[in-house]
Chains A and B, each alone.
Chain A
Amino acid sequence: MRSMAELLQLKAEIGHKLADAELSQKPKIIVGMGTCGIAAAHVTLWKPSARSWRRPASTRP
């Protein structure tokens, strides 16, 4: 990358490409793919307490 103009031109080209993909082609399904934070937090936080030793059903991956 050499200049701001080059970056902005690239941005415009990508913008057109993405807009074309979204508007004139096919449906898009976007899946949230991250490590589940809450599940991890519960496991880490509450493991010593037998009261909540099971991970809540709603947070199981």
Chain B
Amino acid sequence: MEKAGVDAALTQTGCIGMCEQEPLVDVQLPGEDRITYGKVTRTDAVRIVREHVLGKTVVAEKAIAAFGEGSREDSRIPTYNDLEFYNKQRRIVLANCGLINPESIEEYIASGGYEACAKALISMTPEEVIAEIKNSGLRGRGGAGFPTGLKWELTRKTPSDKKYVICNADEGDPGAFMDRSLLEGDPHRVIEGMIIAAYAIGANEGYIYVRAEYPLAIRRLQIAIEQAKAYGFIGNDLFGSGFDFDLKIKKGAGAFVCGEETALMASIEGKRGMPRPKPPFPSVSGLWGRPTNINNVETFGNVSYIIKHGAEAYRAVGTEGSAGTKVFALTGKVNRTGLVEVPMGMTLREIIYGIGGGMPEGRELKAVQIGGPSGGCIPEELLDLPIDYESLRQAGAMMGSGGMVVMDSSTCMVDVARFFLKFTQSESCGKCTPCREGTKRMLEILDRICSGEGREGDIELLEELGSHICRTSLCQLGGSAPNPVLSTIKYFRHEYEAHIKDKRCLANVCAGMSGAYVIDQKKCVGCGLCQRVCPTGAITGERRQPHVINEQLCLSCGACAQKCPVHAIAQT
């Protein structure tokens, strides 16, 4: 821009949630609507600057939405409210994400930021703040769904000269990126929620425990904390209330188990991240033996809205037992992937088909994996299940932190269960026997089922082992590790039976049971695409001549069949 002499302000924002349209660029001319461009390439960027910024003409075919109320003359460009991806969402926590510059405290303040903090500290007692949170019905968004106000009250009532508040940003579920997006897109919202919580429970010191694998989130948090200190939102005698608060960042080293609250506190204390038995709960004896309140990133993200707009306004969203909204990372085989925030009680069908736009190429949905590695797989026939804590628990899944992976008929449910169990098994800290040994034995059984060596009775053995591990593990990582296996057995038992009895993988995924791939010589056009994607160099052939696959080298991975433009490759 400098070289071309373009006189424009270049700024940044966080993730607005439309992952499938990234990279996104917005252009706002003085006095006009802000226009969003999607899937912007290098060439597009030059064109947008030339035509829109300099020429004042919107590049309509690349524009995906306009901010504002739809008063634009150019009707080819919908507003955000017109987009199906957004008009079914209710954005409370993500309200600022993708709109403001996350590195500017001024933009946060201009959008009403820190007003809830001022209201709480100036005009409410800590007990009134807790009562408001209790009345709102807010429940922990980290997965367990414990009532937040009750947790705060327990910590407040425990006598101690020192208390702590901790934000659990150790987001480790495969496929989940809700917390990271919030920290990267609107860090001040989380900090404001923490200040209010600290005031309510009487804590003068706080920690944000965030994974070291989130460098951008850490950088933006550091900037936000410095800015909040400079503006007097963190420090001594905040708003003349006599309340002091300091906030620090603690980087986690990437252990999944450190998302468990007692392991997390051990990690902050400099010990090995391992859970300990409860009780005592952290609200009684937490960090360095002092009463500690731990909430997840998204939970803190809800607090300022509740204090500012009142518990009633918050309760008006969601269901009676699960108030408010929930952020989900919608991924997998769905047309519109991304980060969505929906009112509790919305059905899975509405999320996947209404917001996500359904399955690509009209494929059939097979299951939805919800709640990360601790969650479960929900089959197509339960798509009208409302998303709330109780309904999901009854279906054998759990809310988790919000990962939602959509699967179609090309997915093998046994393989999925194995994948998630492999993850939790490798992340087991090893402290308790049921989790350390039990998940290992379950994984061995799944490995042999997927390699075509499953035995009669393996399904029953998995069920028995899973049930024991759930009941006897020390922490929730172990206690919920068998969930993906148990839920897939519950809803997809026939797939397990096909693997064991017929030695068949119905989705043709498990390599141990897949036949070799062959190229139909009549259909092959010799384009060479299969040759390029083959990871073992098993495919040979001259250009524009039919290719052949060397069966000895073929791994049956299927990459060639997926790439072939004329569908000439199939399994025998």
Contact = CB atoms under 8 A, between A and B. Distances in A.
20 contacts: A1-B118, A4-B119, A4-B123, A7-B115, A7-B118, A25-B9, A27-B27, A30-B11, A30-B13, A31-B10, A31-B13, A32-B23, A34-B14, A35-B15, A37-B15, A37-B177, A40-B177, A41-B403, A42-B331, A59-B22
Given A1-B118, A28-B27, A51 B558 contact: yes
Pick from A35, A37, A42 the residue with the most CB of B within 10 Å. Answer: A37
B106 A1 contact: no
B217 to A, nearest CB: 8
B338 A38 contact: yes
Given A27-B53, A45-B419, A51-B558, 10 more contacts: A22-B30, A27-B28, A28-B26, A30-B101, A32-B26, A33-B216, A37-B339, A38-B20, A41-B175, A49-B509
Interface in B220-270: 231-233, 238-240
A27 B331 contact: no
Contacts of A14: 106-107, 109-110
A11 to B, nearest CB: 5
Nearest to B13: A30
Contacts of A23: 30-31
Interface in A45-61: 45, 48-54, 58-59
Interface string A8-38: 1011001101100111111111111111111
Contacts of B376: none
Given A27-B8, A27-B53, A48-B419, A36 B22 contact: yes
A51 B559 contact: yes
A3 B232 CA distance: 11
Nearest to B557: A50
B28 A22 contact: yes
A4 B20 CA distance: 41
B240 A10 contact: no
Q: What is the predominant secondary structure among interface residues of chain A facing chain B?
A: helix
B106 A38 contact: no
Nearest to B103: A33
B2 interface: no
B14 A33 contact: yes
Nearest to B561: A51
B25 A30 contact: yes
Interface in B427-481: none
A1 to B, nearest CB: 4
Contact of B20 (A17, A32, A58): A58
Given A1-B239, A32-B14, A45-B175, A51 B562 contact: yes
Contacts of A45: 174-175, 331-332, 405, 419
Contacts of A32: 12-16, 22-26, 98
B214 interface: yes
B514 to A, nearest CB: 10
B49 A51 contact: no
A3 B122 contact: yes
Contact of A36 (B19, B31, B232): B19
B181 interface: yes
Q: Which of A34, A44, A50 has the most CB of B within 10 A?
A: A34
A33 B238 CA distance: 32
A11 B9 CA distance: 22
Contact-size category for B: 35 or more
B25 A31 contact: yes
B100 to A, nearest CB: 10
A40 B140 CA distance: 25
Contacts of B559: 50-51, 53-54
B181 A34 contact: yes
Nearest to A11: B109
B329 interface: yes
A15 B419 CA distance: 50
Nearest to B412: A49
Contacts of B8: 26-29
A27 B25 CA distance: 13
Contacts of B14: 32-34
A38 B175 CA distance: 8
A49 B418 CA distance: 11
A3 to B, nearest CB: 6
A56 B64 CA distance: 21
Interface in B517-572: 533, 535, 555, 557-559, 562
Given A1-B232, A11-B109, A44-B175, A29 B27 contact: yes
B13 A18 contact: no
B29 interface: yes
Contacts of B174: 41, 44-45
A7 B180 contact: no
A30 B12 contact: yes
B34 interface: yes
Nearest to A1: B232
Nearest to B24: A32
Given A7-B115, A37-B181, A51-B559, A28 B28 contact: yes
